[in-house]
Chains A and B, each alone.
Chain A
Amino acid sequence: MNANPEMMAAGTASSRNGIVMDCQLEKVFYGDFLAVRDSQVPIEKNKITGFIGPSGCGKSTVLRSLNRMNDLIPIFRFEGKVSYHGQDIYDKKVDPVVVRRYIGMVFQQPNPFAMSIYDNVAFGLRLNGFKGNLDERVEKALHGAAIWNEVKDKLKNSGLSLSGGQQQRLCIARAIATEPDVLLMDEPCSALDPIATRRVEELMIELKEKYTIALVTHNMQQAIRVADTTAFFGVDISQGSRTGYLVEMGPTKKIFEEPEQQLTRQYVRGEFS
């Protein structure tokens, strides 16, 4: 799937059990504030791993640690390791820019660039020095994001001229155009109406055939609909602060129907949020 032979060679050894990324998070700080602790989150190949939990539980922080997006925040500090095809991405010799080229991201707010629809999708291809047939790859990505029919006659229009739901699918097309290995989605439907949400969910299920997806969602129904595995995060307020941690992780059906932890049961029943 990926063009980099070294990464793939390393991958065959460590992803025996289909684990593409193994996040072994010990502590994450923003300045002095301990935001997340003790969370082991393995991400399986060609599956959708859903992250759920109340607000402030650190599910977004964990997701953004997986492609070092949090490095944009100067006071962010990560302790632990995220093993990606056998390599810790927080190792000093790893450039976060390279990590982000293999691990794409779709954000909460649609954020197309202020350029044409075509240029938005071609952005990653050009960035990676793609020399082949650009038109073909752009069309393929737009098909993949289920938006080709809506934009095929106006590829030169600005990406910002589209509706919110279309913009989000354009961002998905932009993210998958380079065929990254893993796709991180941070509440991708929270700014969308129910119809657009349903389209993006269908799309995620199609995309997992080719990609490995990690999805943060505040919507439990969405996790039930699309996630194969679900990780439930809780907030620990015992130390007088608010620190997120992984409470329980397992097959989605199990998490929602017969969870092991009392806290998980209360959350999935809607007793707190």
Chain B
Amino acid sequence: MASHQFDNVDRSGSVSGPPSGGDYVLDRSFRGIAWFSAALILALVIYIVLEIGGKALPAISEYGFGFLTSTAWNVQTKEFGILPQIWGTLYSSLLALLLGGVFGIAIAIFLTQDFLPSRLAAVFRTIIELLAAIPSVVFGLWGIYVLIPLLRPVANWLHANLGGVPFFGTSLSGPGLAPAALVLAIMILPTVASISVDALRQIPYKVKEAAYGMGTTRWEAILKVMLPTASSGILAALVLGFGRALGETMALAMLIGNSNQISLSLFAPANTLAALLASSFPEAGPVEIRALMYAALALLAITLIVNAAGLAVMKFATRKFEAER
């Protein structure tokens, strides 16, 4: 630190002076705390990956990559594989992303593009954020007692009349992919909507003026100017929503049917990695726990890959639309 104190400045009658020694100490300790906190986060992530990886190591050496492509989960014969769970995780999350993404972005447009008086829009934003406060298990119960009975006649009608379409290949007997994905979509909706709202609200007024000044209609302004301008923020919203859907556990364990099969049908029961972990851990013996650790590692890898890919897409969008940073 520079120590010259400008002692030859005439300071009679002036209150200007150097910071005190205490100020410098505070400065340094604050920087230390900031560094420590940042390092702690990094260390925690690395620790979790190493810990789970270590616990999964015996299963990895025993089952190898076959674990990821096998469909068996049999404690008696010690055969374990998680392909149906990987499929179920990705399928349910993608469906949820599709539904939640479309509705979430539509809501964000509705709440930011002068469709509502600003005070009413603020009320709506609060309501959507409240949706995020509903516990997962409540969504699960709602799914079981309200959504599934509501869906069943629709699903069975679709199966009876359009059974040839792979998506409607089975009837809905109870829990299954469709109710799970619908609930998942509702659960990621607040994330997608509120982050998209922030992205759209951050667009400077001058951009809106430029769009209308070119003679755009409201839709042209939204579609051709506002959405591309907010694209990196909206992509971030989708990535975060997808990440949340991948890891969501309780509601899915209650609604998806926990059945180890791979089917395109929206009405067939399925399973996800998170649901498998939640429902199997409590009663698992040491052999199954090792396999579950491997499954946990796979889930961790999927979420990390998805988030990294999402970041890459966002970076690309930022560079394409908003110039090099």
Contacts and interface: CB of A to CB of B under 8 A. Distances in A.
A114 B215 contact: no
A196 interface: no
B215 A124 contact: yes
A114 B229 CA distance: 5
Interface residues of A, number: 30
Interface in A81-107: 97-101, 104-105, 107
A98 B215 contact: yes
A160 B206 contact: no
With most chain A CB atoms within 10 A of its CB, the pick from B215, B220, B319 is B215
Contact of A115 (B208, B217, B228, B319): B228
Given A97-B217, A111-B206, A158-B321, A72 B212 contact: yes
B206 A109 contact: yes
A12 interface: no
B209 A107 contact: yes
Interface string B294-319: 00000000000000000000000001
B321 to A, nearest CB: 4
A157 interface: yes
With most chain B CB atoms within 10 A of its CB, the pick from A72, A114, A123 is A114
B323 to A, nearest CB: 4
A97 B321 contact: no
B210 A72 contact: no
Interface in B193-212: 204, 206-212
B207 A100 contact: no
A124 B224 CA distance: 11
A127 to B, nearest CB: 6
Contacts of B322: 114, 158, 160
Contacts of A175: 213-214
Interface of B: 204, 206-217, 220, 224-225, 228-229, 231, 319-324
11 contacts: A69-B209, A97-B217, A111-B204, A112-B210, A113-B229, A114-B207, A114-B231, A127-B215, A127-B216, A158-B322, A175-B213
Given A107-B210, A113-B207, A158-B320, 7 more contacts: A67-B213, A98-B215, A100-B212, A100-B214, A115-B228, A115-B321, A158-B324
